[in-house]
Homo-oligomer: A and B are copies of this chain.
Amino acid sequence: MQLKGYTGFSLPSAARAWRIYIISIVWDFMIDVGIVGGSGYTGGELMRLLANHPEVKVVAVTSRKLAGKSVTTVHPHLKSIYSLSFEALNGKEVAERCDIVFTAVPHGTAMDWVPQLLDAGTRVIDLSSDYRLPTDVFEKTYATKHRAPRDAVFGLTELHPEVAHAKLVGNPGCYPTGATLAVAPLAKAGLVERVVYDSKSGISGAGMEPTETSHYPNMSQNIIPYKLTTHRHVPEIKQELSRLSPGIKVNFTPHVIPSVRGILTTAHVFAQKGAEETLQDKNQVASIYREFYKNAPFVRMADAVPKLSSVRGSNFCDISFEPEKDSDRLVVISAIDNLVKGASGQAIQNMNLMAGLDEKTGLWFPGMAP
């Protein structure tokens, strides 16, 4: 219906009032969520993203250090939107108030929270690395004894729809998300002998604490390779790709770039013997990706090489590829926002499925460009 020339909107206003009334009836069904460790970037990002989630209410945010202070003390962008204060709660207290809890505490600390939360009947999405790997792999990778192993689903939603029924989700690392999504379809098709990942991440991935690397004069006008052959995210990538293609070889080198957000992954894919021609065929490769991601709304096959600005602030993963002529190499590029699809957005996508919602709920908005 067209309302040409209206100035007062009397009719639609009435409709709106009515709708608001209806909505107020169902208000009680809002999901109450808690954030354990809300003072860092991923905690802040959870609040930013959940602010407009239609089915969720953030009811508790913990921080021992900042207990009693407004969440806007460290997250001034949330002012007027949130009136919550940090609280110094224990797991049981959080569980009593929440249906679902996000643990956004440092690696090695989540394992002190998760058992309490699960035992109290709450479902948990852990953004640390504590529940992403089998215990033995975790212990080897992090050189730490795991104090509280639990069954968990690896929360890369596109590959693990079973998160819908999980009690505990180990939300994937930021690098593994972009890296795995870039190559999974080809791996599953059995086309890949080796992937050489060269990943470039914004510095927000290193957290809120100032370090020598994050010092502006060091980071600006620079690109910093680090842990050239030993990054702790490698086992997650290997675990996911090996599931799809046993024996696949994976090499990975990460870099930090002078950008706050975003991970661009350059995947140099080398063909399995005999698969060289298939990888050279752009149409065939395109259809492999299309088929694999047909039910994955957040994976977009990009029309041109993906830009970090196209996904910035959003939950999308953009992917493109290009075969090298007369070669066994195919280059795949993926772009994500490390704090959204690489962390908090991914966690909410998992939460949506766990709560029986459409996975897009509250996350269906574009990136912020320019």
User: Which residues of chain B are near A145, meaning CB under 8 Å?
Assistant: none
Contact with B along A11-53 (1 / 0, CB 8 A): 1110110110011011011011000000001001001100110
Partner of A259, one of B1, B258, B313: B258
- A89 within 8 Å of B by Cβ? no
- A184 within 8 Å of B by Cβ? no
Complex contact B2–A251 (CB within 8 A): no
User: Which of A76-84, A154-162, A238-246 binds B?
Assistant: A76-84
- Interface footprint category on A: 35 or more
Complex contact B308–A221 (CB within 8 A): yes
User: Which residues of chain B are near A204, meaning CB under 8 Å?
Assistant: 217, 370
For A200, the closest partner residue in chain B by CB is: B223
- A261 within 8 Å of B by Cβ? yes
For A368, the closest partner residue in chain B by CB is: B313
- A356 within 8 Å of B by Cβ? yes
Partner of A211, one of B77, B210, B316: B210
- A253 within 8 Å of B by Cβ? yes
Complex contact B229–A48 (CB within 8 A): no
User: Which residues of chain B are near A366, meaning CB under 8 Å?
Assistant: 47-48, 51, 77-79, 81-82
A18 to B29, CA, bound (A): 13
A33 to chain B: closest CB distance in Å? 12
Contact with B along A90-121 (1 / 0, CB 8 A): 00000000010000000000000000000001
Complex contact A257–B258 (CB within 8 A): yes
- A247 within 8 Å of B by Cβ? no
User: Which of A124-132, A133-141, A175-183, A327-335 binds B?
Assistant: A327-335
A241 to chain B: closest CB distance in Å? 16
Partner of A81, one of B202, B215, B365: B365
Complex contact B228–A305 (CB within 8 A): yes
A221 to chain B: closest CB distance in Å? 4
Q: List 11 A-B contacts (CB under 8 A).
A: A4-B122, A6-B355, A16-B29, A82-B366, A203-B217, A204-B217, A220-B259, A222-B309, A224-B305, A229-B331, A313-B368
